[in-house]
């Protein structure tokens, strides 16, 4: 699968502008992941995990700074881009903890999630590095961060085995299924987002024009400035309108 996507990755990472934008996005995701881990460290009662989560969070914050600094260096003089493109989900960065509700997570499932998330990131970053021969600085950034992600994979797995003892495999499978579910949610949301935009845009152009005409006429009657509120305004009503 990875080799099939290689030409696509190459295309995505070829343009300095897109490279800059993606690195800045990765910086945000890493920072977000760092905050999730800080939250996990604040909530856990296990002192070893608290220290590990904090150290991991610091790594993520450092990665965020590195991605950001490289992204800014690549993007000097380029105007910022608004909105997302298709390439954003074809070539993801680390997905943080997949919008996990840290507070509601069992320690074992949280560690399983971290392990899988870091594995995926390490794999992806290795792929990106392989198509970045033309940009040694960005390539070495991915190599460096990729190595960190491997450390994160290892510690999370070791801790998962400690915390869940015999149940770690089951937790990993459960986490894989949940990641699949979340992937479905992302895909479904993306498709539905497109469908809804198309449907509402059709409604907009088919249904709205006569109403828009009336609204524009009505607007002309309105005076600028203050609107005096009637003394009998029913401010006590508690109604929705």
Partner 1 sequence: MIRKRSRIERQLIIFGSAFGTTAELVRGTWRSGSGRKWMIPLIIFLCLNGLLLTLAAGVEVLAPFVYSIF
Partner 2 sequence: MKILGISAHYHDAAAALVIDGLPVAAVQEERFSRAKNDAAFPMAAIEWCLDQAGLEPEQLDAVVFYEQPALKFDRILTSSLRSFPHSWRSFPKAMKNMLGEKLWIRGIIASQLGVPGRKVLFSGHHMSHAAASFLTAPCGEAAILTADGVGEWATMTIGAGQKGKDHATSIKLIRELRFPHSLGLFYSAFTAFLGFAVNEGEYKVMGLAAYGVPNRVDDVYQVIQRTADGALELDLRYFDFHSRAETSFSKRFTDLFGPPRNPNEPIDLASQDGRRFVDIAASAQRVLEDILVDIAQALHRETGFPDLCLGGGVALNGVANARLLAESGFERVSVPPAPGDAGCALGAALFADRIHFGQPHRDVPDHPFWGPGIEPADLLRLAREDDIPVEEVDEDALLSDIADALWQGAIVGWMDGALEFGPRALGHRSLLAAPHDAALRDRLNRDIKYREEFRPFAPVVTLEHAHRFFELAPGAERLGRFMSGVFPVRREWRERLAAVTHVDGTARVQVLDPPMAPRLARLLDLYGQRSGIPVLLNTSFNLAGEPIVNTVAEGYSTFRRSGIDLMVAGSICVRKGGQRHEALSEAAE
Question: What CA–CA distance (Å, rounded) separates 89 from 187?
Answer: 9
Residue bearing tokens 């914050």: 61
Q: Answer for the pair 115, 134: CB distance below 8 angstroms, yes or no.
A: no
Binding to partner 1 in span 199-228, by CB under 8 A: 199, 207-208, 211, 214-215, 218, 221
Pick the binder of partner 2 from 1, 3, 4, 82 (CB under 8 A): 82
43, burial (CB in 10 Å: exposed 0-12, middle 13-18, buried 19+): middle
Q: Least CB distance from residue 12 to partner 2, whole Å?
A: 20
The listed partner (partner 1, partner 2, none) that binds 207, CB under 5 to 8 Å by sort, is: partner 1
95 Cβ contact list (under 8 Å, min separation 6): 29, 117, 120, 121
Q: Answer for the pair 62, 102: CB distance below 8 angstroms, yes or no.
A: no
Q: Least CB distance from residue 175 to partner 1, whole Å?
A: 19
**138 vs 159, which CB is nearer to partner 2?**
159
What sign has the CA pseudo-torsion 22, 27, 28, 30?
positive
The listed partner (partner 2, partner 1, none) that binds 1, CB under 5 to 8 Å by sort, is: none
Question: What CA–CA distance (Å, rounded) separates 37 from 53?
Answer: 6
Pick the binder of partner 1 from 73, 78, 183, 188 (CB under 8 A): 188
Pick the binder of partner 2 from 25, 41, 109, 129 (CB under 8 A): 41
**205 vs 211, which CB is nearer to partner 1?**
211
153, burial (CB in 10 Å: exposed 0-12, middle 13-18, buried 19+): buried
236 binds partner 2 (CB under 8 A): yes
Binding characters for partner 2, 133-172, by CB under 8 A (x = yes):
------------------xx--x--xx-------------
The listed partner (partner 2, partner 1, none) that binds 152, CB under 5 to 8 Å by sort, is: partner 2
Provide the phi-psi class of 235: left if phi over 0, else alpha when psi is between -120 and 50, else beta. Answer: alpha
The residues of the shown chain that bind partner 1, judged by CB under 8 A, are 184-185, 188-193, 195-196, 199, 207-208, 211, 214-215, 218, 221, 239-241
């Amino acid at each position: 699968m990875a080799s099939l996507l290689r030409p696509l990755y190459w295309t995505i990472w070829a343009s300095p502008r897109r490279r800059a934008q993606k690195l800045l996005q990765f910086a945000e995701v890493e920072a977000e992941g760092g905050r999730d881990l800080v939250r996990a460290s604040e909530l856990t009662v296990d002192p070893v995990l608290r220290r590990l989560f904090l150290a991991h969070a610091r790594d993520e914050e450092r990665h965020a700074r590195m991605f950001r600094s490289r992204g800014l260096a690549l993007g000097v003089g380029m105007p910022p881009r608004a909105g997302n493109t298709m390439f954003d989900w074809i070539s993801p960065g680390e997905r943080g903890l997949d919008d996990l509700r840290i507070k509601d997570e069992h320690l074992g499932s949280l560690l399983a999630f971290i392990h899988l998330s870091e594995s995926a990131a390490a794999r992806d970053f290795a792929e990106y590095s392989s198509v970045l021969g033309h940009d040694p600085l960005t390539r070495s950034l991915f190599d460096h961060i990729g190595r960190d992600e491997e450390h994160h994979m290892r510690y999370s797995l070791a801790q998962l085995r400690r915390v869940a003892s015999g149940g770690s495999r089951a937790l990993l499978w459960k986490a894989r299924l949940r990641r699949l579910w979340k992937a479905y949610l992302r895909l479904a949301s993306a498709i539905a987002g497109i469908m809804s935009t198309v449907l509402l845009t059709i409604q907009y152009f088919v249904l709205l024009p006569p109403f828009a005409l009336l609204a524009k006429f009505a607007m002309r009657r309105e005076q600028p400035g203050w609107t005096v509120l009637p003394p009998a305004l029913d401010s006590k009503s508690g109604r929705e309108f």
